[in-house]
Amino acid sequence: MDAYVVVLGGLNFDLVIRGSRMPNKGESVFGKSFHTFPGGKGANQAVQLARLGVQTCLLGRVGNDIYGDHLIASLEGEGLRTDALIRDSELGTGKGWVFVDDEGDNYIIILPEANMNWAKGDLEALADLLSGAACLLCQLETPVPIVKACLRQAKDAGLMTVLNTAPATTLPADLFTHVDLLILNQTEAAFYLGHAVAGADQARAAAADLLAKGCGAVVITLGDQGAVAADGSGICHCGAFSVRAVDVTAAGDSFCAALAYALLQGDDLYSGLKFACASGALTVTRAGAQPSLPKLAEIRAFMESESARHVN
Ligand code: RIB
**Per-residue model confidence as pLDDT tens for the chain (312 residues):** 778 999 999 999 999 999 999 999 999 999 999 999 999 999 999 999 999 999 999 999 999 999 999 999 999 999 999 999 999 999 999 999 999 999 999 999 999 999 999 998 899 999 999 999 999 999 999 999 999 999 999 999 999 999 999 999 999 999 999 999 999 999 999 999 999 999 999 999 999 999 999 999 999 999 999 999 999 999 999 999 999 999 999 999 999 999 999 999 999 999 999 999 999 999 999 999 999 999 999 999 999 997 656 766
- Pocket test residue of 7, 253, 293 for ligand 1, highest count of atoms within 8 A of CB: 253
Alpha-carbon distance values, 42 to 3, 47, 147, 242 (Å): 18, 9, 12, 26
Distance (Å, whole) CA 251 – CA 128: 31
40 in ligand 1 pocket by Cβ < 6 Å?
yes
Q: Which of helix, strand or coil describes residue 86?
A: strand
Provide the whole-model pTM.
0.97
Question: Which ranges of the chain does DSSP label H, i.e. alpha helix?
Answer: 41-51, 66-77, 126-130, 144-156, 186-193, 199-211, 251-264, 269-284, 296-306
Q: Among residues 201, 253, 267, 268, which one is catalytic?
A: 253
Cβ distance 62 to 72 under 8 Å? Answer: yes
Say what the pLDDT of residue 222 is.
Answer: 97
Task: Say how many Å lie between the CA of residue 233 and the centre of ligand 1.
Answer: 33
pLDDT confidence of residue 2: 78
Give yes or no for a contact between 6 and 57, defined as CB atoms under 8 angstroms apart.
Answer: yes
| Cβ–Cβ < 8 Å for 135, 5 | yes
Query: Sheet harboring 31-39: ordered strands across?
Result: 31-39, 12-19, 94-100, 106-111
Q: Which atom of ligand 1 is nearest to the CA of 96?
A: 8
Give the distance (Å) from ligand 1 centre to CA of residue 252: 9
Rounded to the nearest whole angstrom, what is the distance from the C-alpha of residue 308 to the centroid of ligand 1? 32
Q: How confident is the model at residue 309, as a pLDDT?
A: 67
pLDDT at 312: 63
Q: Are 163 and 182 in contact (CB under 8 A)?
A: yes
Atom 6 of ligand 1 has which residue's CA nearest to it? 39
Predicted confidence at residue 120, as pLDDT, reads 80
